Amino acid sequence: MSVLTKQAPGAAATLAAPGRRKPKRGLSRRTNQRSGYLFLLPWFIGMLFTIIPFFASLYLAFTDYNLFTEPNFVGLANFQAMFEDPRLLQSLKVTFIYTFVSVPISLAIALLVAMVLNRGLSGLSIYRSVYYLPSLLGGSVAIVMLWRYIFGNEGIVNGFLGLLGIQGPAWVTDPEFALSTLIVLNVWTFGSPMVIFLAGLRQVPAMYYEAASIDGASKWRQFRNITLPLISPIIFFNLIMQLIGSFQTFTQGYVMSGGTGGPADSTLFYNLYLYQKGFTEFEMGYASAMAWLLLMIIAIFTAINFIASKFWVFYDN
Amino acid sequence: MALLELPTKNKQKKDVAPEDALTGTPGTRFSRHLILCLVGLVMLYPLLWLISSSFKPSNDIFRQLGLWPDNWDFSNYEQGWTALNQPFHVYLINSLIVVVFSIIGNIFSCALAAYAFARMEFTGRKLFFALMLGTLMLPGHVLLVPQYIIFSQLGWLDTYLPLIVPNFMATNAFFIFLMVQFMKALPKELDDAAQIDGCGPFRTFLRVIMPLCVPAMATTAIFTFISTWNEFFGPLLYIQNQDLYTVPLALRAFMDSEGQSMWGPMFAMSVVSIAPIIGFFIAGQKYLINGIATTGLK
């Protein structure tokens, strides 16, 4: 911004000329007031469409609504039922394992690759594109279907393992391994946090590293004491966004299991179970309660992150 | 005019690798390239295998790890195209309808809101802006049941309206945020100059700001294209009529009905379904990468 205003000193000076501008400004503020709301009109309607359902679902969470009869207020019954529902607990377990395994791995790979790419290699933009492309495709039905066949009994993963003399498991149909195929799929999409890391690494001034290496700091020390603190806000941002996204996984579980969450509920993601409850069993009160539990879980994890960030995220200003 | 081009120029500068950062001996640089290429190959292998398998006869597909088909077979595409109720182009057109309207809706409604947030002063602006950022983190499933009820009472089930209309109401806070960031980087003197020339706020927005925001709008368009094209949950919820299926639903139906025996045709249609995404990605890379770098969008 400062560069821009310096570029046009003449224009800025005439515009800032006092006196004559004053009355005009007062007028424009009043028009601004009205047209500001006018510009926001679509957004206001959209907000109504967010806020009303937001509170409506909070209300429904305390009812036995089933789409066909009037909702009856049932107090905390839905929430009580949730904690005794083995499938719900299973869906929480699946979602947590998926999140807490795949998010750290993909962030670590994303950071590592971004750091290698940031060393000024030629062909940067080609590498970046190749690594980024999967994250555009990871949520598509075509790719999840492909995954099902890649990891299938006759699939190429077991084909490669066979070349190494290893008898691969039945990845998709064995409850012990089904979720791990989706974790691999999520790690495969590390490109989007990587691009954000790259943008952040570009902002770290090279002179810090020069100074450090003159002082004899090893590469590891430079990473620990320069890179890590300076990009910690970006790690934090990526962590939050990845956690929130991964808690809400749906398509992968649905397509991998044909909508059931199987085998033996091993890919029953939370949102998949919510969908089953709300839209195949029409227990919409229960589904709303589930949605609110998820909201609370996400809020708690985000809050923990924010509190913890005081100890490890470093802000320059 | 030079003044007008500055902001985009600044953006592009970040994209170029700093020459002076070239580090390491040729040997270490070579090994870095080797590792990066290997990783890239592993990542692309599933996609390349998918494409090559779509040209193999179904019997050849499995246990053939190689990427070059021994027997080229184009019949997968013919068979896949007609395997469902409707020929596959019907589903492509259905998806295209949803995508085009979603893009138009997102661009206009988000740009309007962004202009108000970035440039105007009115009571409650900060509060609304915070509210808008808050919706960024709101998991969509919290709104799901009531929204479904509203849409069904409006008689919108089995139409594309539930998929399209929300985009005209600036419900995608990501894009508002992206455009706010972009508009804030434009010199404010432009607005003042337009105002002195007698433009009202709407004309200023339409004639001065919108044309300068083409890069941000391109980013919005490409992201909307990709996410809408992939969107599975919304159509699954609202579209029951098979003739109205979008591409992801059609693919799923394919897997349910034929999947176990007709890998070839299914892979062929999978390629057809992801080809537009790859095409848009190659065409619009610059906007995509800039977009993610500034907002952290997926």
Interface test with A, best of B120, B231, B295 (most A CBs within 10 A): B120
Asked if A8 lies within 8 A of B21 by C-beta distance, the reply is no
Rounded distance between C-alpha atoms, residue B21 and residue A90, angstroms:
49
Rounded distance between C-alpha atoms, residue A147 and residue B46, angstroms:
8
Chain A residues with CB-CB distance to B39 below 8 A: 113, 131
Chain A residues with CB-CB distance to B292 below 8 A: 192, 195-196, 199
Write the pLDDT tens digit of every residue in A197-216: 998 898 888 888 889 989 98
Residue B26 exposed, middle or buried by CB count within 10 Å (0-12, 13-18, 19+): exposed
Q: Of the candidates B166, B270, B297, which has its C-beta nearest A46's C-beta?
A: B166
Residues 6 or more apart from A169 whose CB is under 8 A from it?
A176, A177
Q: Of the candidates B33, B120, B285, which has its C-beta nearest A32's C-beta?
A: B120
Residue A268 exposed, middle or buried by CB count within 10 Å (0-12, 13-18, 19+): buried
- More confident site: B252 or B66: B252
Do B99 and B228 contact (CB within 8 A), yes or no?
A: yes
Query: Would you say residue B118 has pLDDT above 50?
Result: yes
Tokens found for residue B11: 């953006």
The vertex-B155 CA angle with B151 and B156, nearest 5°, equals 55
Nearest to A273 by CA among A252, A250, A246, A293: A250
Among residues of chain B, what percentage have pLDDT more than 90?
A: 47
Do B162 and B238 contact (CB within 8 A), yes or no?
A: yes
Do B163 and B235 contact (CB within 8 A), yes or no?
A: yes
Which alpha helices (H) appear in A61-216, and where do they start and end? 77-83, 86-117, 124-137, 141-150, 156-163, 178-188, 191-202, 206-214
Instruction: Residue count of chain B, please give it.
Output: 298
User: Any CB–CB contact under 8 A between B273 and chain A?
Assistant: yes
Cβ neighbours of B175 (radius 10 Å): 28
Q: Of the candidates B24, B149, B195, which has its C-beta nearest A28's C-beta?
A: B195
Do A33 and B214 contact (CB within 8 A), yes or no?
A: no
In total, the C-beta contacts within 8 angstroms joining chain A to chain B are: 299
| AA identity, residue B246 | T
The CA–CA distances, whole Å, from B120 to A38, A260, B192, B217 equal 11, 50, 12, 20
Tokens found for residue B42: 């592993």
Query: Would you say residue B29 has pLDDT above 90?
Result: no
Asked if B10 lies within 8 A of A3 by C-beta distance, the reply is yes
Report the Cα B289 to chain-centroid distance in Å.
12
Q: Of the candidates B36, B196, B269, which has its C-beta nearest A116's C-beta?
A: B36
Rounded distance between C-alpha atoms, residue B129 and residue B181, angstroms:
13
Predicted local confidence at residue A166, as pLDDT: 86
Residues 6 or more apart from B45 whose CB is under 8 A from it?
B67
Q: Of the candidates A12, A41, A287, which has its C-beta nearest B145's C-beta?
A: A287
Buried b (16+ CB within 10 A) or exposed e, A149-169: bbbbeebbbbeeeeeeeeebb
Do B235 and B248 contact (CB within 8 A), yes or no?
A: yes
Asked if B32 lies within 8 A of A116 by C-beta distance, the reply is yes
- Mean local confidence (pLDDT), A246-262: 91
Q: How many CA atoms lie within 13 A of B94 on its CB side?
A: 26
Do A206 and A147 contact (CB within 8 A), yes or no?
A: no
User: Any CB–CB contact under 8 A between B126 and chain A?
Assistant: no
Predicted local confidence at residue A17, as pLDDT: 42
Asked if A136 lies within 8 A of B24 by C-beta distance, the reply is no
Q: Of the candidates B112, B149, B298, which has its C-beta nearest A39's C-beta?
A: B112
Tokens found for residue B89: 């182009």
Placement of tokens 């609504």 in the chain: A65
Write the pLDDT tens digit of every residue in A33-85: 788 899 999 999 999 999 999 999 999 999 999 988 889 999 999 999 999 99
User: Any CB–CB contact under 8 A between B176 and chain A?
Assistant: yes
The vertex-B226 CA angle with B96 and A292, nearest 5°, equals 110
Chain B residues with CB-CB distance to A60 below 8 A: 145-146
The mean of the pLDDT values for chain B is 85
Query: Would you say residue A313 has pLDDT above 80?
Result: yes
Chain A residues with CB-CB distance to B135 below 8 A: 47, 50
Nearest to B267 by CA among B54, B86, B116, B3: B54
User: Any CB–CB contact under 8 A between B276 and chain A?
Assistant: no
User: Any CB–CB contact under 8 A between B198 and chain A?
Assistant: no
Chain B residues with CB-CB distance to A248 below 8 A: 139-141
Buried b (16+ CB within 10 A) or exposed e, A254-265: bbbbebebbbeb
Question: Could you tell me which chain B residue has the CA closest to the CA of A124?
Answer: B17
Rounded distance between C-alpha atoms, residue A296 and residue A308, angstroms:
18
User: Peptide bond before A263: cis, by omega within 30 degrees of 0?
Assistant: yes
List beta partners, residue A63: A73
Nearest to A290 by CA among B149, B146, B142, B237: B142
- Mean local confidence (pLDDT), B37-42: 91
Rounded distance between C-alpha atoms, residue A142 and residue A158, angstroms:
20
Chain B residues with CB-CB distance to A243 below 8 A: none
Predicted local confidence at residue B297, as pLDDT: 52
Per DSSP, A73 falls in state: B
Cβ neighbours of B69 (radius 10 Å): 17
Asked if A140 lies within 8 A of B274 by C-beta distance, the reply is yes
Placement of tokens 């005009």 in the chain: A24
Chain A residues with CB-CB distance to B146 below 8 A: 52-53, 56-57, 60, 288
Rounded distance between C-alpha atoms, residue B168 and residue B106, angstroms:
6
Asked if B298 lies within 8 A of A57 by C-beta distance, the reply is no
User: Any CB–CB contact under 8 A between B127 and chain A?
Assistant: no
Does residue A63 sit in helix, strand or coil?
Answer: strand
Chain B residues with CB-CB distance to A136 below 8 A: 226, 277, 281
Asked if A142 lies within 8 A of B256 by C-beta distance, the reply is no
A54 min Cα distance to partner chain B (Å): 5
- pLDDT band at residue A28 using 50, 70 and 90 as cut-offs: low
Nearest to B172 by CA among B127, B109, B91, B230: B109
The vertex-A229 CA angle with A226 and A233, nearest 5°, equals 140
Among residues of chain A, what percentage have pLDDT more than 70?
A: 89
Write the pLDDT tens digit of every residue in B186-214: 888 888 889 888 888 888 999 999 999 99
Do A117 and B36 contact (CB within 8 A), yes or no?
A: yes
Rg (alpha carbons) of chain B, rounded to whole number? 24
- Mean local confidence (pLDDT), A141-159: 88
Q: Of the candidates A43, A120, A150, which has its C-beta nearest B109's C-beta?
A: A43
